[in-house]
C-alpha cells in the first residue's frame, strides 16, 4: 500500500470538510471514507481538532513559502509594486498552495472563516503561533502600498479585504448555484478571481474616512 494511514485520513478529511463543512464532517465520516479504523484519527493526530490543524498546515505552510518568494521578488524590483501586483501575487500564491486539492480554495478560505468564529480560540492560537511571524513579514510588504493609513486602519483594512475574498470563495459553489438558478450562466473560479482583483486593489487604495470629523455626529 503506497499511501500511509495519515495521508489517507488527511485526504478524506479535506474532501469531507469541503463537502460538508468543518463541523459537520464527523470522525466516523472521515475514517470510513479513508478506509481506516475509527480510532485512527485520535491515534495519529490526538484529537479531531488536531486533525483540523493538520489540514490547516497543509495549506498555510506552502502559502507562506509562496508569499515570501513572490513578495521578495516584487521587493527586489526597483520600481514600487502596485496594489494590483500585490493582490495578484497573493492570489497566485494562494492558488499554488491549494492546487493539490480540487476544492482547495473553498476549503482553505472556509478554514479561515471557521477560524474567525467565536468558538475556535484554539485554532486561532495555533495559527498565530505557527504562522504569526510569517504573516507579519508579509504584512510589512503590504503596508508599503498603504502608507497613509494608520497602523490600526491598516490592520482593519486587512480584515475587511480578507472578508471580500472569504465569503464568496468559501461559498463559491453555493454562489454559483444561485447565479445559475437566476441567470442560466455559471461562473468559474478563474473568472471570479479576475473580478476580485480590481475590487481588492481599490480597497487597498481607498483613503481612510475622516472618522473623527463625521462619525460622532451621525451614529
With binding defined as CB under 7 A, does residue 33 bind DNA?
A: no
49 binding partner (options DNA, its own copies, none; Cβ < 5 to 8 Å by kind): DNA
Residues constituting the chain? 219
Q: Are 27 and 48 in contact (CB under 8 A)?
A: yes
With binding defined as CB under 8 A, does residue 140 bind its own copies?
A: no
* 3 state DSSP class of 7: helix
CA 193 to chain centre: 13
Neighbours of 65 (CB within 10 A): 14
Binding segment for its own copies (CB under 8 A), chosen from 8-16, 68-76, 139-147, 208-216, is 208-216
Q: Which residues of 155-170 are buried (b: 16+ CB within 10 A; e: fewer)?
A: eebbeebeeebbebbb
Question: For helices 104-116 and 83-98, what crossing angle results, to 10°?
Answer: 110
With binding defined as CB under 8 A, does residue 1 bind its own copies?
A: no
With binding defined as CB under 8 A, does residue 201 bind its own copies?
A: yes
- Dist. CA 81–CA 120, nearest whole Å: 35
140 binding partner (options its own copies, DNA, none; Cβ < 5 to 8 Å by kind): none
With binding defined as CB under 7 A, does residue 5 bind DNA?
A: yes
Q: Are 180 and 186 in contact (CB under 8 A)?
A: yes
- Dist. CA 81–CA 208, nearest whole Å: 21
Question: Rounded to the nearest whole angstrom, what is the least distance from the CB of residue 175 to its own copies in the complex?
Answer: 6
With binding defined as CB under 7 A, does residue 121 bind DNA?
A: no
With binding defined as CB under 7 A, does residue 117 bind DNA?
A: no
Which runs of E-coded beta strand occur in 31-112? none
Q: Are 26 and 51 in contact (CB under 8 A)?
A: no
With binding defined as CB under 7 A, does residue 157 bind DNA?
A: no
For residues 3 and 182, which CB has a smaller minimum distance to its own copies in the complex? 182
13, 14, 18, 41: residue in contact with DNA (rule CB under 7 A): 41
Interacting residues with its own copies (CB under 8 A):
18-21, 23-24, 88, 91-92, 95, 113, 116-119, 124, 128, 151-153, 155-157, 159-168, 170-171, 173-175, 178-179, 183, 185, 187, 190-199, 201-203, 205-209, 211, 214-215, 218-219
Interacting residues with DNA (CB under 7 A):
4-6, 26-29, 36-44, 47-49
Amino acid at each position: 500500500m503506497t499511501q500511509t494511514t495519515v495521508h489517507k485520513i488527511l485526504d478524506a478529511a479535506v474532501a469531507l470538510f469541503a463537502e460538508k463543512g468543518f463541523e459537520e464532517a464527523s470522525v466516523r465520516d472521515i475514517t470510513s471514507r479513508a478506509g481506516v479504523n475509527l480510532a485512527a484519527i485520535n491515534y495519529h493526530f490526538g484529537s479531531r481538532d488536531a486533525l483540523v490543524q493538520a489540514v490547516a498546515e497543509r495549506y498555510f505552510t506552502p502559502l507562506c513559502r509562496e508569499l515570501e518568494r513572490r513578495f521578495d521578488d516584487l521587493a527586489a524590483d526597483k520600481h514600487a509594486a502596485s496594489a494590483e501586483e500585490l493582490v495578484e501575487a497573493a492570489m497566485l500564491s494562494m492558488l499554488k498552495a491549494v492546487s493539490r486539492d480540487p476544492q482547495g480554495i473553498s476549503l482553505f478560505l472556509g478554514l479561515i472563516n471557521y477560524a474567525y468564529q467565536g468558538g475556535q480560540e484554539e485554532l486561532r492560537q495555533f495559527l498565530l503561533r505557527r504562522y504569526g511571524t510569517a504573516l507579519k513579514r508579509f504584512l510589512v510588504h503590504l503596508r508599503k502600498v498603504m502608507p497613509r493609513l494608520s497602523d490600526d486602519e491598516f490592520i482593519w483594512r486587512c480584515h475587511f479585504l480578507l472578508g471580500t475574498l472569504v465569503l464568496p470563495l468559501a461559498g463559491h459553489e453555493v454562489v454559483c448555484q444561485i447565479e445559475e438558478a437566476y441567470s442560466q450562466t455559471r461562473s468559474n473560479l478563474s473568472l471570479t478571481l479576475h473580478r476580485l482583483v480590481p475590487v481588492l486593489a481599490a480597497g487597498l487604495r481607498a483613503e481612510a474616512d475622516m472618522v473623527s470629523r463625521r462619525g460622532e455626529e451621525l451614529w
